[in-house]
Amino acid sequence: MQPPAATHGVIGRRARAALATLLQTGWDELSRRATIGPDQRRAKAFGHFGPGAAICFPVAALYGEAYMRIGAGTVVGPYATLSAGVMPGHVPDNDPVISIGERCVIGKGSGVVGHRSIEIGDDVWTGHHVYVTDANHGYEDTTLPPGLQFAGPKPVVIRSGAWLGHGTVVLPGATIGRNVVIGAGSIVVGDIPDFSVAVGNPARVVRRYVDGEWRSVIRISGPEAGSSGAADPVGPSRT
């Protein structure tokens, strides 16, 4: 026979294991039931919520649903932020403010924060913790903290088929073309052409699909290139 202390230890371990299993099972069930789907009442608040779409539980922040369009089959991962307007109750001057196409995947912990216009096409996939916004803060008035100053929003467009790597930030006024790949950790501030690969801060094109083949891109420096440098495609990529 085991001594009483050993018996109590075995019982304690079994109880903790059973409790852990119960909690894990409960969390899985809660996550499944609390995910926003097209048949739920919360989905009815959206301007459009397509069949097969889902916003996974838990949600970090969600408001302005009436000014959002979510396409069929699109999945927004857990801990995401979706907001249309400056704050809850704000009436934007554009509708929709946020439009996400069909069959998109927005990664865990990502944020799409729109004040006027963010347009995301079909089949756009992102890694985790991607941030997309058309809004920014000003700093010109030295009597106010920047957090209380709002710059005018600039529309953001992410065209169909784009892939945004983990931690990408897309800032106001950016346009990302069709089937573009944005490398992890990049910050997009301008226009990225169709069928290209861009990386860095700010994101710059390093590969393009030209004349039926992928080509590496070289940067042209000097006064003739402008402040951000110009890009010329060179021979086919070897990778």
Instruction: Identify the three-state secondary structure at position 181.
Output: strand
Tokens of 152: 């005018």
Q: Cα(149)–Cα(73) distance, rounded to whole angstroms?
A: 37
The DSSP string of 87-139 is: STT---SSS-SEEE-TT-EE-TT-EEEESS-EEE-TT-EE-SS-EEES-EE--
Give the count of beta carbons closer than 10 Å to the beta carbon of residue 77: 19
Cβ proximity of 76 and 38 under 8 Å: no
Total length of the chain: 239
**DSSP tag of 36:** B
Say whether 129 is catalytic.
no
175-182's contacts with Cβ under 8 Å and 24+ in sequence apart are 178/121
Q: Cα(58)–Cα(238) distance, rounded to whole angstroms?
A: 43
**Among 90, 115, 137, 166, the one annotated catalytic:** 137
Which residue carries 């097969």 as its tokens?
52
Just list the catalytic residues. 137
